[in-house]
Structure 1
Amino acid sequence: MDQDSGLRERLIDVGVELVTTEGTAALGLREIARRAGVSHGAPRRYFATHQALLSAIARRGFEELGSRVPAAISANPGAGDPRERVRALGRAYVGYALEHPGMFELMFRHDLLDSTGQALPPGSARLRDSTLPLFEVLVSLVARCRTAQAPRITAAALWANLHGVAQLWSRGSLPLALDGDPQACVDRLVDAAVDAHLRP
């Protein structure tokens, strides 16, 4: 790895650490540069805009989430059953959101996903494209559940439901409404969402 790409990766690493420990409000260019030990203007040599750097940080979140899903699916005792695989994917998705709320918020920031007007390096994909591999896994699993009609629409509705569970839980609304062990409640919410969309 050359010095330029090494510094680029270090800036992203620092951003990942900051968003994980302090949340999205800590992701100023100056603070990232300070923590990386470079001048406040250095990030501009590697990222045309602040949004471009934030998108690179968020892309790391999608990579980590994407690597968790196959492990969660294979660890599920019912891994051969498509419905159980969907359930495992849902739990991994919501679990990641609750463990990494700052990163999850950054990953789904509209201005980063939209990326209109962002100058992208040649050959690089827009952040929105980082959501597609995981969605395609979900569509594929939903399609294998014989009860599901229109698998893409069903998968999109289920994804929206899981995303809502993650957001409402992390903001305290669902814990306020539900009693009991928090992890058990989250698992039951995921199960209910899967059953509602795939029909028992």
Structure 2
Amino acid sequence: MAGPQVLRPPMRELLIRAGVELLEERGIDAVGVRAVSRRAGVSHGAPRRYFPSHRSLLAAIARTGIIDFVGVVRPILADATTPPRTRLIDSGEAYLDFAHRRPAMFDLMTRHDLLDRAGADLRSLTLPLMADLHAVVMEGTAGDTDDRLRTLALWASIHGIAVLASNQAFALYPGIPTPDDTSGSGAATARALLARAVDAHLA
């Protein structure tokens, strides 16, 4: 008697999953159309039916990471029971944690040179997140001026900390536990850096 049939996911989803696996294992440069096809176990021409270009495939892969990232950060920003400053620091910690756990996906998600106008409607995910960040910044400053440069500057600071930590660049600065690791004393350093950044931009 035959066992239960194992259903394969739809082809498009199968290709995206294969791309995510390659990305996380070997980085952006490994995610080519042929490599994704081999990983998915399909013909080399199969991806072209779903992704007209290499960039559109990368955009679809990036979308999965952005969805995961937004799913973690937006609830932190939306928690009205927590003071704005704490929400900004906590969301910054989530930002650093994602960059630490999934460095290749984090790298791809921020490669606007590759993803801009490549499809997957990524801005429908990122713009609401930026709007949430801006709302919390404005709440934290209690200001009447819609100062978007303040929000952009804070985001740039948090992103810079995440990139430096992800690249282990803080090891070049002696004398403090490096925030490259998100546990123990490194986590305390990361939170202290985030607190400095938040306070500088809320002042």
TM-score (normalizing by structure 2): 0.83
Per the TM alignment, residue 129 of structure 1 is displaced from its structure 2 partner at its CA by 4.3
Per the TM alignment, residue 73 of structure 1 is displaced from its structure 2 partner at its CA by 5.3
Per the TM alignment, residue 79 of structure 1 is displaced from its structure 2 partner at its CA by 4.4
What is the rounded CA distance, in whole Å, between the counterparts of 1:39 and 1:55 in structure 2? 21
| Corresponding residue of 1:21 | 25
| Corresponding residue of 1:188 | 192
Q: What is the correspondence of 1:66-85 to structure 2 with a 5 Å cutoff? A: 66-72=70-76, 79-85=81-87
| Corresponding residue of 1:33 | 37
What is the rounded CA distance, in whole Å, between the counterparts of 1:151 and 1:113 in structure 2? 27
C-alpha distance 72-166 of structure 1, shift in aligned 2 (>3 A): same
Per the TM alignment, residue 94 of structure 1 is displaced from its structure 2 partner at its CA by 1.8
Q: Which letter maps to 2:154?
A: L
Per the TM alignment, residue 82 of structure 1 is displaced from its structure 2 partner at its CA by 1.4
Deviations 1:110-133 (A, max 9, x none): 223322xx4x4xxx52x3443212
Q: Is the 8 A contact 2:70 2:125 kept in 1?
A: no
2:109 equivalent among 94, 107, 110: 107
2:153 equivalent among 146, 154, 157: 157
| Corresponding residue of 1:135 | 130
Deviations 1:41-93 (A, max 9, x none): 1100100001000001001111000001145458x9x9421111111111111
Query: Matched residue of 1:196: which SS?
Result: helix
C-alpha distance 134-175 of structure 1, shift in aligned 2 (>3 A): farther
Q: Is the 8 A contact 2:27 2:104 kept in 1?
A: yes
What is the rounded CA distance, in whole Å, between the counterparts of 2:194 and 2:58 in structure 1? 29
Q: Is the 8 A contact 2:77 2:136 kept in 1?
A: no
What is the rounded CA distance, in whole Å, between the counterparts of 1:175 and 1:150 in structure 2? 38
Per the TM alignment, residue 150 of structure 1 is displaced from its structure 2 partner at its CA by 3.9
CA RMSD in angstroms, aligned pairs only:
2.4
Aligned length: 188
What is the rounded CA distance, in whole Å, between the counterparts of 2:188 and 2:16 in structure 1? 35
What is the rounded CA distance, in whole Å, between the counterparts of 1:173 and 1:137 in structure 2? 29
Indicate yes or no: 2:61 matched with 1:61.
no
What is the rounded CA distance, in whole Å, between the counterparts of 2:39 and 2:189 in structure 1? 38
What is the rounded CA distance, in whole Å, between the counterparts of 1:57 and 1:196 in structure 2? 35
Per the TM alignment, residue 13 of structure 1 is displaced from its structure 2 partner at its CA by 1.1
What is the rounded CA distance, in whole Å, between the counterparts of 1:79 and 1:37 in structure 2? 49
Question: Which is higher, the Rg of structure 1 or of structure 2?
Answer: 2
TM-score (normalizing by structure 1): 0.84
Q: Which letter maps to 1:99?
A: R
Per the TM alignment, residue 22 of structure 1 is displaced from its structure 2 partner at its CA by 2.0
Per the TM alignment, residue 172 of structure 1 is displaced from its structure 2 partner at its CA by 2.1
Q: Which letter maps to 2:150?
A: T
Identical columns (%)? 43
Of the structure 1 ranges 85-94 and 34-43, higher mean CA displacement relative to structure 2 is found in 85-94
